């Protein structure tokens, strides 16, 4: 119960920073912090809890961004891809975590791009690609730092 409460508090802190401070740094930064948090906690919590946090995150981001349900669909597809990958990959391996995270990031941003392209008829290709690359690099950096701290 303690780890659920702690993860919910960290999620609330990340969402607060993303909503109020993220837009001043970069527009894609608003989407990448909650996504990266969900990817890091995803293998260690029940899937229902991950979907609940994804739903709350999408609710906040879709409400503020005016994107309809694009983030909700993108988060759910990314989590479903993650569930499928966890059947074949182990949770503790660095390479498995790298593959899992990067594929979930690409699934999220690809769904976001296709959803905006099909439903909104807006060409956000460059912005979504830039945000996807930024999230991927940020994920790799945080994963290397996490691995380095765990090895010492």
Domain of residue 132, residue span: 2-151
* Stated pTM of the model: 0.86
> How many domains in the chain?
1
* Each residue's pLDDT tens digit, 67-126: 667 888 889 999 999 999 998 888 888 889 999 999 999 999 898 888 777 766 566 667
Cβ-based burial of 22 (10 A; exposed 0-12, middle 13-18, buried ≥19): buried
Q: Return left, alpha or beta for 121; rule: phi > 0 is left, psi -120 to 50 is alpha, else beta.
A: left
State how far the Cα of 73 lies from the Cα of 114, in Å rounded to an integer: 11
State how far the Cα of 118 lies from the Cα of 19, in Å rounded to an integer: 26
State how far the Cα of 85 lies from the Cα of 81, in Å rounded to an integer: 6
């Amino acid at each position: 119960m303690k780890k659920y409460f702690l993860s919910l508090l960290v999620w609330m802190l990340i969402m607060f920073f993303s909503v109020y401070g993220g837009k001043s740094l970069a527009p894609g930064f608003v989407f990448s912090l909650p996504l990266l948090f969900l990817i890091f906690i995803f293998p260690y919590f029940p899937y229902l809890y991950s979907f609940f946090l994804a739903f709350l995150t999408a609710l906040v981001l879709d409400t503020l961004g005016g994107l309809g349900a694009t983030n909700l669909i993108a988060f759910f597809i990314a989590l479903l891809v993650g569930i499928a990958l966890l059947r074949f990959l182990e949770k503790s391996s660095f390479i498995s975590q790298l593959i899992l995270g990067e594929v979930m990031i690409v699934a999220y941003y690809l769904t976001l791009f296709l959803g905006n392209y099909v439903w909104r008829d807006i060409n956000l290709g460059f912005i979504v690609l830039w945000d996807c690359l930024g999230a991927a690099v940020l994920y790799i950096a945080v994963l290397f730092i996490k691995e380095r701290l765990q090895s010492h």
